[in-house]
Each structure stands twice: as C-alpha cells, then as structure tokens.
Amino acid sequence: MKITQIRNATIIVEYANRRFLVDPWLCPKESMAGFDAGINPQIRQPRVELPFTQDKITNVDAVILTHFHPDHFDDYAVKALDKEIKFFVQSKHDYEIIQSKGFTNIEILTEKGNLYQNITMYKTKCQHGKREIIKPLCEQIGMPYDAMGIVFKAENEKTLYLAGDTIWCEEVRESLNTYTPDVIIVNACGATVQNGEHIIMNISDIEEVIAHSPKSTIIASHMDTVSHLTVTREDLKKYIKEKNITNILVPNDGETIEL
C-alpha cells in the first residue's frame, strides 16, 4: 500500500495493484474565494499550488469522490479526467452530478461493500460537523451535508480506513470497531465555520482516534490548504513531539508513504 498526499483531501491510494485518486481538487493556488460560511473568508484558496502536474495526478485506475464540495472536486478535475474512468460516489445525488459532468462509468458505494477488481470497498458514515448543528446550516446555504468514509480490504493487504470529512463521532467509533483498520487516514485541519463549530477533525478528535486505535498507523491529510483551517501541519507535529506519539504520520504535499 502506498499513500501519496497531493493537496488538501486529494490523495492517491495505491492498493492491491490499483491506483485510486480521491477527491481531486486541481485548481491553481488562490483561484477560489474563501468560504463565506467558514472562518477567514477573506483568505483565498487553495493556499498552495499542486505539487505535481495534472497528468501525473490523473494517471490512475479509478476515482473516489467522498462528497461533492468545492474543495474536493472542481471543473479542473472534470476537464483533466477521462470520462470513461471508473468513478465511485456516495449517493444517487452525487451520481447524478458526476453523470451531468459527462462521466459514464459511475458506481455508488454501499455499506454492504462493492467489489472492484480484487478489492472490496465499504462505505462508512461520517458527521461533517455535529449533525444537529451543521446539517441545517448546509441546507440554508444550499450545500449538501453528507460525506462518506471508505474501508479498503484485499487479500495480502492491510485494512485501510479513509475516514473522510468527519469529526470524531459514534459513526467513526463504530467503523473502527467493525473493521479494526491497520491504517487510518484522517482529514485533520480542524476546518471551522463562522459559528465556531469544526467540521473535520482537530487535535482533540485525533486524540480520540489514537486512544481507540493505538496500534493503527494514522496519516493526517487535508492540511494547510483551505481558508477555514484551524490546525496546521506544524501544530500537529508539535503536538506529536510533546506527547511522544509514534503512530501518526504527517506527510507533506507530494510525499508518498509506503506501508
């Protein structure tokens, strides 16, 4: 297994001899305004450029979209990707959006599991911020709330859990209990909206993951890129050093981790 951190939640997962591109957000640095509903809306995003050319990023077997938000998929990705590529989504809603972009080989992931080549992928539930608070806010601004995580399982491979855009919640706890993953990827910049609620993991959430899965290797993604972040790579590295934690990796953009 290899995990290449591209930028933000955009990663390439090499698993059982297949390459998956997750959440391709391929626009140039500062080409989007900050999110009005988030803190720091005056900061343009992405804050950094891509570490590779688009053709290197899109040389994959399949694409996974954890949810249709502007910092996870964009028109640059639409233009760069082959319209016949295998494309996995979380729901009928996202299926119809991706289909409207011209893609023709789309499949909805399920909690029962989907077989692709020799890999089984299981959809897992998320809370993209506290559901009772953030879901009504998303509805007010016309942005979908739901996101998914994915568990990858294959013979002769470690079990991988990509938690997705979520805070620590009962759904994440259940996924850890059910699948006991060897490797966990967490989106960890503590992105925060105007009312002060964080909508993906911050350091306190990561502490919960560590406590629940102390033998797993944890990889921090979705760092240093969006306007509404509250946790940086340096913050997380400082915490890791202070607590003498040995099972968290914080890859830089462009870095590949082999497990």
pLDDT in tens, 172-216: 999 999 999 999 999 999 999 999 999 999 999 999 999 999 999
> What is the number of other CB atoms lying within 10 angstroms of the CB of residue 82?
13
Provide mean pLDDT across the span 79-107. 98
Q: Which residues contact 31 (CB under 8 A, 6 or more apart)?
A: 44, 46
pLDDT surpasses 90 at 10: yes
Could you report the per-residue pLDDT of 234-244, keeping only the tens digit for each?
Answer: 999 999 999 99
Distance CA 71, CA 167 (A): 17
Of the pLDDT bands very low, low, confident and very high (cuts 50, 70, 90), residue 142 is confident
CATH topology of domain 2-258: Metallo-beta-lactamase; Chain A (3.60.15)
pTM of the model: 0.97
Q: What is the mean pLDDT of the chain?
A: 97
Mean pLDDT of 37-57: 97
Residue written as token pair 């899965």: 213
| pLDDT score of 143 | 87
Average pLDDT over residues 37-42: 96
Cα distance between residue 259 and residue 256, in whole Å: 10
Q: Among residues of the chain, what percentage have pLDDT more than 70?
A: 100
End-to-end Cα separation, the chain, in angstroms: 5
- pLDDT of 79 reads 98
- Given CA atoms 199, 204, 209, 210 in this order, what sign does their dihedral have? positive
Per-residue pLDDT at 232 exceeds 90: yes
| pLDDT exceeds cutoff 90 at 141 | no
User: Taking 90 as the threshold, does the pLDDT of residue 169 lie above it?
Assistant: yes
Residue 192: DSSP 8-state: B
Residues 49-91: tens digit of each pLDDT: 999 999 999 999 999 999 999 999 999 999 999 999 999 999 9
